[in-house]
Amino acid sequence: GENVEQHPSTLSVQEGDSAVIKCTYSDSASNYFPWYKQELGKRPQLIIDIRSNVGEKKDQRIAVTLNKTAKHFSLHITETQPEDSAVYFCAASTRIQGAQKLVFGQGTRLTINP
């Protein structure tokens, strides 16, 4: 089955700097790659996603890149702000008829230092 590895497990950056989180996946059939942000004790919230037919996607300060050949994808956050502090999860999935079976990475705890 699918296996997703996420690095680093913790990341600390100065406010205003950029943060990069990387994930690799094992199943070449995976075709959907979402990123979720989770604050302490709260539900995961989708921040950006990318499908396998696209190499890069941007949404304001957040971007995701996908390299299908190497089976890795990355989250880039620019101009970081204190409210970006949270745990970030990547995931990979394959659509099985009407459902998306997501496999998550272990998470990255991002801390933005003022």
Partner 1 sequence: DGGITQSPKYLFRKEGQNVTLSCEQNLNHDAMYWYRQDPGQGLRLIYYSQIVNDFQKGDIAEGYSVSREKKESFPLTVTSAQKNPTAFYLCASSSRRVGTDTQYFGPGTRLTVL
Question: CB atoms < 10 A from the CB of 7, how many?
Answer: 13
- Work out the angle at residue 93's Cα, subtended by the Cα atoms of residues 75 and 28, and round it to the nearest 5 degrees: 90
Which of 32/78 has CB closer to partner 1?
A: 32
Which of 18/106 has CB closer to partner 1?
A: 106
| Shortest distance (Å) from residue 16 CB to partner 1 | 28
Instruction: Determine the Cα–Cα distance for residues 20 and 43; give it in Å rounded to an integer.
Output: 22
| Shortest distance (Å) from residue 68 CB to partner 1 | 17
Residues that bind partner 1 (CB under 8 A): 1, 4, 6, 32, 34, 42-46, 49, 51, 89, 93, 95-107
| Shortest distance (Å) from residue 79 CB to partner 1 | 25
Which of 47/77 has CB closer to partner 1?
A: 47
Instruction: Determine the Cα–Cα distance for residues 107 and 114; give it in Å rounded to an integer.
Output: 22
| Shortest distance (Å) from residue 6 CB to partner 1 | 8
Rounded to an integer, what is the distance from CA 70 to the centroid of its chain? 16
Per-residue tokens: 96:
């099985």
